[in-house]
């Protein structure tokens, strides 16, 4: 089969690579000349393990990229364009989806199977995509919705191992969709219609946002009582048969920072109790941490203006590693640090120095981050940070504070140096500074 993929962002790019790896001929289309140029050279514009290797081996030989799909060529056209949420109204913008549907209708034969892969409000495939196809093809339309549900860092594996959910416009569409995805994935789950498949994706991501928000709520309440939230959660989970409570942490990325708003847009006259509140709590957390870091620095130094804060981890998550800045906590933190007069330096194993500068940071090496700062803030849990030997990196340096969001550093080693150690919901008192030997004791 020959497959067309419209939209070569994260979703379309990884699907193209996975299909090519299965032996499909794939034509990818994207409106960005930069994306097309990069992929044409066998390079990937997005970090995802395995993708660049597939493009390097297959581009021009099984994988072809251009501004639009070749005319009357593909058997299946997958729409995987972005569906952004407006920053002010929080309403989804479906212009890219409608444009992609028109492009598919213009370049593909009637009866081509069209797959909506983009995340959309419930009802969108039928209300936005279907009319564009019928306007060009009449009733000769096969349309399915098959949501993308992979995790960054493991997409190529999950595209094969995770069940692919497929809902069709009609029985003929469903059968064509099941046949297509059976050539990619080990399991295909059929659902009754387009709308059910649309809601599956929203349900998965909103539930993830919700369970993470509960861990964050526990942390914020524990903070009020001087408790260790990780101890609370660990004890709550040990041997208890109900679902594990999640550790506190920042919740970002392209999906979790957007899809709850798409679910809210799907709610109609019903006003959801949980989805919006969970998202609001997770968006509050980075601001709360930034305010806390400023307050603790002020307590330690008396004044924050002119102080230097080293931020480790600028991508929205550290594991699996990614360079994705969508929904990154630092975006909401930087205005608070700037208002306090704090200079922010930055390090991330995956994020380029140019991107760190775009977000307002001064790039530094990991060594310098520890030796040339008044405080250190660890935002993500990249493996490089998990392996840090604090005493070796600090040397004689004594920052006033290390705020370890994910609690991955050696807290005892930090406190033994007289440095205050804190984390999400965890604010123990500052340790006493280690005693400095007197001159006579040294000479003796």
Predicted local confidence at residue 395, as pLDDT: 83
In a domain, 429, yes or no: yes
Scanning the structure block, which residue is given the tokens 């099941």?
178
89 in Cβ contact with 264 (< 8 Å)? no
Chain centroid offset of residue 313 CA: 13
- Do both 209 and 154 map to the same domain? no
Is the omega angle on the peptide bond into residue 320 within 30 degrees of 0, that is, cis?
yes
CATH number at residue 238: 3.40.50.720
> Is 185 within the bounds of a domain?
yes
How many domains would you assign to the chain?
A: 2
Nearest residue to 99 via CA among 195, 199, 30: 30
Do 357 and 416 sit in the same domain of this protein? yes
200 part of a folded domain:
no
Q: 194, 229, 262: which is the final residue of a domain? A: 194
Quick one: 84 and 231 in the same domain? no
Q: Which positions ≥6 away from 46 have C-beta within 8 Å?
A: 9, 10, 13, 323, 324
Let me know if residue 44 belongs to a domain.
yes
Residue 199 lies in a domain: no
Residue 179: which domain range?
Answer: 2-194
- Shared domain for 212 and 74, answered yes or no, is no
251 and 184 share one domain:
no
What pLDDT, on the 0 to 100 scale, is given for residue 430?
83
Same domain, 400 and 338: yes
At a CB cut-off of 8 Å and minimum separation 6, what does 37 contact?
A: none
Half-sphere exposure of 137 (CA within 13 A, CB side): 26
Q: Do 222 and 162 share a domain, yes or no?
A: no
pLDDT value of residue 440? 37
pLDDT at 439: 39
**CB neighbour list of residue 346: distance below 8 Å, 6 or more residues apart:** 310, 311, 312, 314, 330, 356, 359, 361, 362, 363, 364
- 230 and 285 assigned to the same domain: yes
The CA distance from 373 to 169, in Å, is: 58
294 and 159 in one domain?
no
Last residue of a domain, one of 194, 226, 260: 194
pLDDT by 10s per residue, the chain, length 444: 999 999 999 999 999 999 999 999 999 999 999 999 999 999 999 999 999 999 999 999 999 999 999 999 999 999 999 999 998 999 999 999 999 999 999 999 999 999 999 999 999 999 999 999 999 999 999 999 999 999 999 999 999 999 999 999 999 999 999 999 999 999 999 999 999 999 999 999 999 999 999 999 999 999 999 999 999 999 999 999 988 999 999 999 999 999 999 999 999 999 999 999 999 999 999 999 999 999 999 999 999 999 999 999 999 999 999 999 999 999 999 999 999 999 999 999 999 999 999 999 999 999 999 999 999 999 999 999 999 999 999 988 899 999 999 999 999 999 999 999 999 999 998 886 654 443 333 433
The 3-state secondary structure of the chain reads CEEEEECCCHHHHHHHHHHHHCCCEEEEECCCHHHHHHHHCCCCCCCCCCHHHHHHHHECCCEEEECCCCCCCCCEEEECCCCCECCCCCCECCHHHHHHHHHHHHHCCCCCEEEECCCCCCCHHHHHHHHHHHHHHCCCCEEEECCCCCCCCCHHHHHHHCCEEEEECCHHHHHHHHHHHHCCCCCEEEECCHHHHHHHHHHHHHHHHHHHHHHHHHHHHHHHHCCCHHHHHHHHHCCCCCCCCCCCCCCCHHHHCCHHHHHHHCCCCCCCCCHHHHHHHHHHHHHHHHHHHHHHHHHHHCCCCCCEEEEECCCCCCCCCCCCCCCCHHHHHHHHHHHCCCEEEEECCCCCHHHHHHCCCEECCHHHHHHCCCEEEECCCCHHHHCCCHHHHHCCCCCCEEEECCCCCCHHHHHHCCCEEEECCECCCCCCCCCCCCHHHHHC
Pairing of strands 164-168, 142-145: antiparallel
pTM above 0.85, yes or no: yes
Residues 247, 170: one domain?
no
In this structure, is residue 155 part of a structural domain? yes
Distance of CA 32 to CAs 20, 81, 345, 351, Å?
21, 12, 32, 21
Please give the structure tokens belonging to residue 344.
């922010």
**Residues 371 and 264 placed together within one structural domain of the fold:** yes
Domain end among 194, 224, 244: 194
Q: Tell me whether residue 84 is in a domain.
A: yes
**Total count of residues recorded for the chain:** 444
Q: Are residues 146 and 274 both part of a single domain? A: no
Structural domain contains residue 114: yes
């Amino acid at each position: 089969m020959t497959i067309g993929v419209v939209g070569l962002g994260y979703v379309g790019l990884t699907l193209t690579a996975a299909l090519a790896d299965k032996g499909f001929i794939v034509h990818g289309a994207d409106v960005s000349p930069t994306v097309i140029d990069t992929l044409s050279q066998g390079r990937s514009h997005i970090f995802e393990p395995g993708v660049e290797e597939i493009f390097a081996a297959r581009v021009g030989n099984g994988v072809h990229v251009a501004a639009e799909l070749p005319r009357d060529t593909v058997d299946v056209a997958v729409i995987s364009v972005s569906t952004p949420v407006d920053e002010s109204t929080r309403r989804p913008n479906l212009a890219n989806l409608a444009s992609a549907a028109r492009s598919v209708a213009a370049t593909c034969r009637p009866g081509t199977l069209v797959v909506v892969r983009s995340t959309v409000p419930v009802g969108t495939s039928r209300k936005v995509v279907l009319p564009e196809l019928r306007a060009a093809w009449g009733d000769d339309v096969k349309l399915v919705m098959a949501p993308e549900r992979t995790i960054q860092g493991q997409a190529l594996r999950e595209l094969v191992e995770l069940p692919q959910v497929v809902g069709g416009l009609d029985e003929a569409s469903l059968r064509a969709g099941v046949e297509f995805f059976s050539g990619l994935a080990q399991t295909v789950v059929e659902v009754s219609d387009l709308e059910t498949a649309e809601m599956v994706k929203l349900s998965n991501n909103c539930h993830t946002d919700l369970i993470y928000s509960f861990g964050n709520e526990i942390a914020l309440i524990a903070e009020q009582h001087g408790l260790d939230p990780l101890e609370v959660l660990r004890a709550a989970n040990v041997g208890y048969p109900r679902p594990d409570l999640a550790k506190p942490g920042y919740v970002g990325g392209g999906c979790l920072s957007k899809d709850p708003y798409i679910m809210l847009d799907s709610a109609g006259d019903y006003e959801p109790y949980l989805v919006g509140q969970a998202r609001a709590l997770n968006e509050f957390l980075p601001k709360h941490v930034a305010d806390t870091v400023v307050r603790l620095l002020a307590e330690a130094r008396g004044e924050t203006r002119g102080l230097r804060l080293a931020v480790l981890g600028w991508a929205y998550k550290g594991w699996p590693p990614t360079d994705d800045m969508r929904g990154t906590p630092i975006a909401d933190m930087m205005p608070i640090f700037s208002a306090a007069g704090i200079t922010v330096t930055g390090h991330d194993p995956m994020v380029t120095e140019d991107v760190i500068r775009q977000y307002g940071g001064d790039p530094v090496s990991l060594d310098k981050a520890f030796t040339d700062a008044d405080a250190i803030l660890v935002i993500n849990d990249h493996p490089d940070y998990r392996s840090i030997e604090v005493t070796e990196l600090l040397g004689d340096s004594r920052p006033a504070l290390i705020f370890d969001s994910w609690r991955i550093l050696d807290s005892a080693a930090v406190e033994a140096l007289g440095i205050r150690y804190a984390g999400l919901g965890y604010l123990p008192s500052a340790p006493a500074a280690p005693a400095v030997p007197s001159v006579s004791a040294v000479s003796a």
